Amino acid sequence: MPGETLTRKLVKSHLAEGKPQPGEEIALRMDQALLQDATGTLAWLEFEQMGLDGTRIRQATQYVDHNILQTGYENADDHRFLRSACQRYGAIFSGPGNGISHWAHMERYDIPGETMLGCDSHTPHAGACGMLAIGAGGFEVASAMAGQPYRVTMPEVVNVRLAGKFKPWVSAKDVILELLNRFDVKWGKNKVLEYTGPGLKELTVPSRGTIANMGTELGATASVFPSDGLTKQFLAAQGRPKDFTALVADDGAEYDDTVDIELGELEPLIACPSSPDNVKPVREVTGTEVAQVAVGSSVNSSFRDLGMVANALDGKHVAAGVSMAVSPGSRQTLLLMLTSGLMTKLIKAGVRDLEVACGPCIGMGFAPPSRGPSVRTFNRNFEGRSGTADDRVYLCSPETAAATAIEGEIADPRDLGTMPTLKEPTTYPIDTSGFEMPPKDRAAVEIIRGPNIAPLPVAAPPKDAMEGDVLIRLGDNISTDHIMPAGAKFLPLRSNIPAIAEHVFEYVDPTFAARAKKAGGGFIVAGDNYGQGSSREHAAVAPMFLGVHLVLVKSFARIHADNLVNSGIPPVTFADPKAYDVIQQGDRLRITNVLAAIRGEREADVEDVTRGMHTSVRVQLRPYQREVLVAGGGIRYAQQRRSR
């Protein structure tokens, strides 16, 4: 018998239903749930609709790390709502300034061998510690907190085999950028990337976190690293040696595909505007103008990464005309940077120290100037995500960011000379003061609701026949940042769907919301990989509130398709992709046999009344999703099940 991959071991140990064969629907028991404030408010509102007196999962942890800017009452009110919800229903609360969810969770709560579902697309970061961690929409996480298994298509398992050693000035970020260079932002759909090989010894757990986190940019369901000696060292340094369990793939494990990476052949890479897969060697874009440099986010915010930048800048200064900032991944990391003297080096070099939070990555402050190139160690660079509509964001390693800051233009770090060395700490300054446990008497807790928290809209069940206009026609790789923008202007409205719905497609077509309401709803038409990027449900719930009946595309990103189903909007694909070329914005469509298509009984029929064209479309869902969509979305489905 062939050996088992680590991914399949993790799946089998948590399998509630189904057969773990690629393409089959499986249900996985979840050990943990991870929430953050940009998506967690909807998740808790949905959890309340389930009528339970508390969570039914081993651990749920709520982080406040996205919406930190308190320019009005909205964010502060929502922080109080989230804290009170955690106290009432039994979740751990991590307040503002305590840590970026993925990094802080890795320090304190990632446990090898466990599963975790998070309402953040970068939840697979926890795969760095040998977990099977998956990003999903808020409703799925609410269901997991209610004790329900998570249903997903059993992915293929791809072996990413690492060999060799890094050359100076090359690091973990260049590994994931190399994969994005070879493939693209949709290559990893329905795949788990499992990392093996002798090159693993080059990657500490924080470095593995950077790679696992950005597997999301490839479209992967999850990324998994073994739990090995380096994992043991990291957990011991965090004061958690008892959480360690050795977990590796069997010898002779069979994979669905294999990708080989020779670390010694890598060079510094950079993703150019405005997609993570627009990757080039740094040497090809050296000399490019730079307005700002940022180091941090849920990737590259570790002591190793910030320390590397500090040592590279030691005795030097950020170039005139360039603004540079760092965002530590946790309060613990900040403390270590301070006590080691490395933060002093950064400050002396002219670097700004931002708050312990996602910050600029989600457009919360430090937005670049108009058309101002911004070089960042972040994980995605979709248009407008930075908070500047016409931004030009590059993604790179901390090494490249340091060289760029010194030179005042994109620079190859290999030109800096001898690379500074920095050892991973054997002991971290452990700080758990920012984590608040729920009280024993949870029933006495009153949930605090500010005026910005509006009732959750619920869709009506889909109709068998639909007619309306094509409200917008879009191309390939439309992200949730395109659909429902992030940033300091929009995210404070995340608990108020009627208010945030006014900004759907704000950067693509600012007239969309008004036109959708005037038309009484209609259709969205797009190309491949629609809905990539963030897991935010608002990109589905807000269009539903505006009356969008159905979304018709060539293909969907995984999480967004799930969110559309849970929001009651049929995610529909062309049977003949050539029909996409015919249908134009403003066309009148008549769609029939929708319910039969949702049930999987036949294809639906589309008539483009404007152009006299007929075509067929499909609703490609798993059996469970078909039931949910027929019911009218996740909330209605949960209510129907509870009433039986």
Q: What are phi and psi of 488, to 5 degrees?
A: -65, -20
Q: Quote the pTM value.
A: 0.96
Q: Please report the pLDDT score of residue 203 as a whole number.
A: 98
* Cα 450 to chain centroid, rounded: 27
Confidence (pLDDT) at 564: 98
State the CB neighbour count (10 A cutoff) for residue 439: 12
Give the DSSP per-residue string, 273-311: TT-TT-EEEGGGTTT-B-SEEEE-SSSS-SHHHHHHHHH
Which residues of the chain are under the pLDDT cut of 50?
none
The angle that helices 558-566 and 138-145 make with each other, rounded to 10 degrees, is 70
β-pair type (292-295, 323-326): parallel
- Using a 10 angstrom Cβ sphere, with 0-12 exposed, 13-18 middle and 19 or more buried, the burial of residue 360 is buried
CB neighbour class for 2 (10 Å; exposed up to 12, middle 13-18, buried from 19): exposed
Give yes or no for a contact between 382 and 274, defined as CB atoms under 8 angstroms apart: yes
Q: How does pLDDT run across 463-482, given as a tens digit for each residue?
A: 999 999 999 999 999 999 99
Distances (CA, A) of 165 to 169, 216, 295, 419, 564: 12, 25, 24, 15, 44
- Both tokens of 589, joined, read 């469509």
- Chain mean position to CA 132: 15
Here the tokens at position 11 are: 């799946």
List domains and CATH numbers for the chain: 6-265 (3.30.499.10), 269-415 (3.30.499.10), 466-643 (3.20.19.10)
pLDDT for position 362: 86
State the sign of the Cα–Cα–Cα–Cα dihedral 227, 228, 234, 239: positive
What is residue 495's predicted lDDT score, i.e. its pLDDT?
92
